Chain A
Amino acid sequence: MDSLSLLGDGLSAAITPENLLYAAIGVLLGTFVGVLPGIGPAMTVALLLPVTAGLEVTQAFIMFAGIYYGGMYGGSTTSILLNTPGESSSVMTAIEGNKMAKAGRAAQALATAAVGSFVAGTIGTMGVVFFAPALADIAVEIGAPSYLAITVMSLVLVTAVLGSSKLRGFVALFLGLTIGLVGLDLNTGQPRLSFGTSQLADRLDIVVVAVGIFALGEALWVAAHLRRTPLQITPVGQPFMSKDDWGRSWRPWLRGTALGFPFGAIPAGGAETPTFLSYLVEKRLARKPEEFGNGAIEGVAGPEAANNASAAGTLVPLLALGLPVTATASIMLAAFQSYGIVPGPTLMDDQPDLVWTLLASLLIGNTLLLVLNLPLAPLWAKLLRIPRPQLYAGILFFASLGAYATNLDWFDVLLLLVFGLLGLAMRRFGLPVLPLILGVILGPLMEQKLREALAISGGDASGLVNEPLAVIVYALIVLALVVPPVLRLVRPAPTHAETEHEKEKVER
């Protein structure tokens, strides 16, 4: 119960009228940007990060937490009202959510998503409160070889298991690793891939890379394929839920949370699997399964809770190991570093007050989200009507502003454009974005651990596998790569084929 009293200290430090104001501004800004079509949570957080730059650390955290939850909820709003998920984790929410919206129940869909996010976010954050310190205690014992192995595992799983084309996943991953090489080599202080410029020798700002690839890349890609006929947007009333809606929603919220959190917490994250599983579970357990496909509230409540719980779960490896496993988490890592937090096993011992303030801020941001966004939903829905030329011009404007404001250097805007063009090319060539971003962030970490491990063993390759944990993790990687194709060859299992088929059906 030690954790609880520490969390209490964090809460009392965080709750002041001024801080609550920052949280409210964060929620409003985050939702505002997150609702805009084509902008997912990762992009929202990256775009708004500069806004928190000048604040002192507690306020920056609180505002950041507001932005983060606002961005997540904004994404769900877009998927429900437009049937167009901003990122893969809200695909499942969109299926039933948009059917509900079409049937005139948009308000209920938004309400169950908001309350479900709140429930899952709160339980998930409490989960982080209990698990992150425990994992950090174990993680202190983890040596460089095992750390290297875990990093390799998360990269391989994200690249090879989640994407549709392994080849394109690895192309993206290695492009990311190359981008991660740019800048001073940590041990010898020599610039790599810097073309003689001082700006590049000083390592790339991950926010510029991310905003370029997510925001600018998306804007350019949309420009190449702009839909000239407007989409249909369902009007929204005041969100509310009837007694029946509550009765049908609370179990899916809890089940979704239970599915989402563990998937987020293992370093092979992603919210795709738990949201998909939650959808299937709710469909099986529903009192009226025939409603699925025509707007079943369980199909919004479950996946939405799973999505948020898994997002909270990703904080466990992020805080305890310094290992981000989703695009949003990698932006958060960059944000934490800019606030002076260095995530990793020693974080809990070195800067405990900061961690507890952060977790308290997440709880506050989550609560404010519910308080502010239920009444404001009709207003957010109006944002979807912004004419597209102005909308994407605005995205370009704010992306450039963010890049420029970090160092007040035109060179950063040039970098933004370069990465925007890379983002455009990736969308054209079907290269997944997540492996690239993780490659940029985890590449330098991997190299550092590799060199540490081999320096200890004096250059002997056995130094990479002299810890039992490292061996186990490498074995798991091999299993994850070898087993699925072999299973498919040996016997096309009927149940497996059925799920695949079903997944295909819902994805259509």
Chain B
Amino acid sequence: MTEIVPDTHPEARPAAGPDRAQFGLAAALAVIGAYTVYDATTLDVGFADPVGPRVFPYVVGAVLLVLAVLLAVATVRGSRPEAESGEDVDLDAPADWTTVAKLVGVMVFTIATISVLGWAISGALLFAGSAWALGSATLIRDVLVGAVLSVVSWYGFYVGLGIPLSPGLLDGIL
């Protein structure tokens, strides 16, 4: 597989210092674990239930806290994650977080507008916007493809499955 999946990717090179971002992950784990424990303390214990609703979250939250510490220690000791490779993934290039941010922006826009604009419009914009974020230069074609996909899927769900996706602005037209 050497032609396609390179043996050494940047995340695996031993020379660089500890993977600092992993401290962030450890901190996030600690927060989640602590909140899980706190959330469990707010529950009432029922009758005739020797375990109650608290025990399981206590255990899960406590173990997450322990794992957070272990991960932080492992990071200091130089343990590095093995980032996932894949067919379209090029781990040699530095991570391109701008594209990810654009995609997340497109998703957030969809979430905010889907109830108002309806699936047919939101879906088309979602497709075209994502393709644009990923570097497509054919904006008009993407909008057309997106519109076809979303209108066809709207009718497919409405006619084929009897699920009325929100029509939004196009209420009465579709």
Give residues in A with beta carbon < 8 Å to B: 37-38, 51, 53-55, 78, 82-84, 86, 94-95, 164-165, 167-168, 170-171, 174-175, 177-178, 181, 185, 187-188, 190, 192-193, 218-229, 231, 387-390, 392-394, 396-397, 400-401, 404-405, 408, 410, 413-414, 417, 420-421, 424-425, 427-431, 443, 446-447, 450-451, 454-455, 458-459, 507-508
The residue on B at minimum CB distance from A387 is: B136
Q: In the complex, A400→B165 CA distance in Å?
A: 12
The residue on B at minimum CB distance from A217 is: B84
With A390-B131, A401-B153 as known contacts, state yes or no: A396 contacts B88, CB within 8 Å: no
Q: B169 within 8 Å of A by Cβ?
A: no
Give residues in B with beta carbon < 8 Å to A: 1-5, 7, 21-22, 25, 29, 32-33, 35-36, 39-40, 43-46, 48-53, 55-57, 60-61, 63-64, 67, 70-71, 74, 79, 81-84, 86-91, 93, 95-97, 99-100, 103-104, 106-108, 110-112, 114-115, 119, 123, 126-136, 142, 145-146, 149-150, 153, 157, 160-166
Residues of B near A413 (CB, < 8 A) are 107, 110-111, 114
Residues of A near B163 (CB, < 8 A) are 53-54, 405, 408
On whether the beta carbons of A223 and B119 are closer than 8 Å, the reply is no
With A181-B60, A393-B136 as known contacts, state yes or no: A167 contacts B71, CB within 8 Å: yes
Q: In the complex, A188→B48 CA distance in Å?
A: 11
On whether the beta carbons of B39 and A164 are closer than 8 Å, the reply is no
On whether the beta carbons of A227 and B88 are closer than 8 Å, the reply is yes
With A192-B53, A221-B89, A455-B48 as known contacts, state yes or no: A392 contacts B60, CB within 8 Å: no
On whether the beta carbons of A394 and B127 are closer than 8 Å, the reply is yes
On whether the beta carbons of B157 and A405 are closer than 8 Å, the reply is yes
Please report whether the interface of chain B is mostly helix, strand, loop or mixed according to DSSP: helix
Q: In the complex, A392→B48 CA distance in Å?
A: 52
The residue on B at minimum CB distance from A36 is: B87
On whether the beta carbons of B126 and A396 are closer than 8 Å, the reply is yes
On whether the beta carbons of B100 and A223 are closer than 8 Å, the reply is yes
On whether the beta carbons of A82 and B87 are closer than 8 Å, the reply is yes
On whether the beta carbons of A178 and B61 are closer than 8 Å, the reply is yes
What are 12 A-B residue pairs whose CB atoms fall within 8 Å in the complex? A53-B161, A53-B163, A174-B60, A174-B67, A181-B57, A187-B53, A192-B53, A222-B89, A223-B99, A225-B96, A397-B123, A431-B81
On whether the beta carbons of B21 and A400 are closer than 8 Å, the reply is no
Partner of B99, one of A174, A224, A431: A224
Residues of A near B165 (CB, < 8 A) are 401, 404-405, 408
Partner of A231, one of B4, B71, B97, B142: B4
Partner of B51, one of A221, A229, A429, A455: A455
The residue on B at minimum CB distance from A459 is: B50
The residue on B at minimum CB distance from A458 is: B50
Residues of A near B115 (CB, < 8 A) are 410
The residue on B at minimum CB distance from A395 is: B130
The residue on B at minimum CB distance from A86 is: B87
Residues of A near B112 (CB, < 8 A) are 410
On whether the beta carbons of B95 and A225 are closer than 8 Å, the reply is yes
On whether the beta carbons of A400 and B107 are closer than 8 Å, the reply is yes
Partner of B40, one of A37, A192, A219, A431: A192
The residue on B at minimum CB distance from A83 is: B4
The residue on B at minimum CB distance from A412 is: B111
List the 5 closest A-B pairs by CB distance, nearest first: A459-B50, A54-B161, A430-B81, A84-B87, A393-B130
On whether the beta carbons of A222 and B135 are closer than 8 Å, the reply is no
On whether the beta carbons of B134 and A392 are closer than 8 Å, the reply is yes
Residues of B near A430 (CB, < 8 A) are 81-84
Residues of A near B56 (CB, < 8 A) are 181, 443, 446-447, 450
On whether the beta carbons of B134 and A226 are closer than 8 Å, the reply is yes
Q: In the complex, A400→B150 CA distance in Å?
A: 11
Q: In the complex, A188→B32 CA distance in Å?
A: 23
On whether the beta carbons of B43 and A188 are closer than 8 Å, the reply is yes
Min CB distance A245 to B, Å, is: 24
On whether the beta carbons of B86 and A218 are closer than 8 Å, the reply is yes
